[in-house]
C-alpha cells in the first residue's frame, strides 16, 4: 500500500484521469474530493462491498430459479434418439 501525506487543498493523481483532493480535515475525519471520468465508478468501500454482495446473491438466486423451473419444460431429448424427419418434396 502506498501511503502519502497531504495537507488541505493538496491532491494526488491516480493514473491520468483521477484526482483525489483533501478538502477538509476535522479531528479524525478527512473530507475528500474526487474528480474522475463518468465511466469510472467511485464508491465508499462499505457501499462497494454491499454492491458486490448483492450482485453475488442475485446471481445465485437466478441459478436457483432456473433449477426450480427446469422441470416445467420436460426432459431434454437426445438428438440421436430420434431419426431426422424426411423433407417433403414440393414442385
In a shared domain, residues 31 and 15: yes
In a shared domain, residues 32 and 64: no
In a shared domain, residues 31 and 20: yes
Q: Distance between CA atoms of 62 and 40, rounded to whole angstroms?
A: 27
- Read off the pTM: 0.61
Cβ neighbours of 54 (radius 10 Å):
10
**pLDDT at position 73:** 72
Structural domain contains residue 17:
yes
Q: What are the grid coordinates assigned to 43, written together?
A: 464508491
pLDDT at 26 over 70: yes
CB 55 within 8 A of CB 45: no
- Residue whose entry in the numeric block shows the C-alpha cell 438466486: 61
Structural domain contains residue 2:
no
Per-residue pLDDT of 38-59, as tens digits, reads: 999 999 999 999 999 998 888 7
Instruction: Check residues 34 and 66 and name the one with the higher pLDDT.
Output: 34
**pLDDT at position 74:** 65
In a shared domain, residues 32 and 48: no
Q: Is 22 helix (H, G, I), strand (E, B) or coil?
A: strand
Structural domain contains residue 25:
yes
User: Which residue segment(s) compose the domain that 26 sits in?
Assistant: 7-40
Q: Distance between CA atoms of 79 and 63, rounded to whole angstroms?
A: 26
Confidence of residue 69 (pLDDT cuts 50, 70, 90): confident
Amino acid at each position: 500500500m502506498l501511503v502519502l501525506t497531504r495537507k488541505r487543498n493538496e491532491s494526488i493523481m491516480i493514473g491520468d484521469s483521477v484526482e483525489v483532493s483533501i478538502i477538509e480535515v476535522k479531528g479524525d475525519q478527512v473530507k475528500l474530493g474526487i474528480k474522475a471520468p463518468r465511466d469510472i465508478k467511485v464508491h465508499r468501500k462499505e457501499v462497494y462491498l454491499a454492491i458486490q454482495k448483492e450482485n453475488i446473491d442475485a446471481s445465485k438466486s437466478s441459478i436457483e430459479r432456473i433449477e426450480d423451473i427446469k422441470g416445467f419444460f420436460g426432459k431434454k431429448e437426445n438428438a440421436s434418439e430420434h431419426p431426422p424427419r424426411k423433407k417433403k418434396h414440393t414442385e
